Amino acid sequence: MPECYIEDGVVVCIACFTECFLFGKPLIGLAEDELISLLGQPDEIGESLWVSEERLQTPYEYFSFGIQIWFENEKTVSAFCNAED
């Protein structure tokens, strides 16, 4: 189930960890080449972060879509849809 983050009564981010669809395609579980085939090259690839002792994740930013995709072990594991400022 997605998580909604709210500031001042407005949704600013929706975080998806099990399901997220864009253009009718599931984003969670994709390999890097599949994601790039669907969305193109990311606008930015962030620094990899240890989210736990065993889990290293890397964010891919797609600013035109307002989405941040996180990779772990070469697969997408989460997607964050952010409100524009």
Q: What is the per-residue pLDDT for 68?
A: 95
Tell me the one-letter amino acid at 74.
Answer: E
CB 72 within 8 Å of CB 32: no
3-state secondary structure of 22: strand
CB 78 within 8 Å of CB 1: no
Tens-binned pLDDT, residue by residue, of the chain (85 aa)? 788 989 999 888 899 999 999 889 999 999 999 999 999 999 999 999 999 999 999 999 999 899 999 999 999 999 999 877 5
Q: What is the per-residue pLDDT for 1?
A: 77
Of 1.10.10, 3.40.50, 3.30.1450, 1.10.40, which CATH number belongs to 3-82? Answer: 3.30.1450
Distance CA 79, CA 2 (A): 10
Q: What is the per-residue pLDDT for 83?
A: 73
CB 1 within 8 Å of CB 63: no
Q: Which residues fall within 8 angstroms of residue 54, CB to CB, at 6 or more apart?
A: none
Q: Domains of the chain: which residue ranges?
A: 3-82
Q: What is the per-residue pLDDT for 16?
A: 93
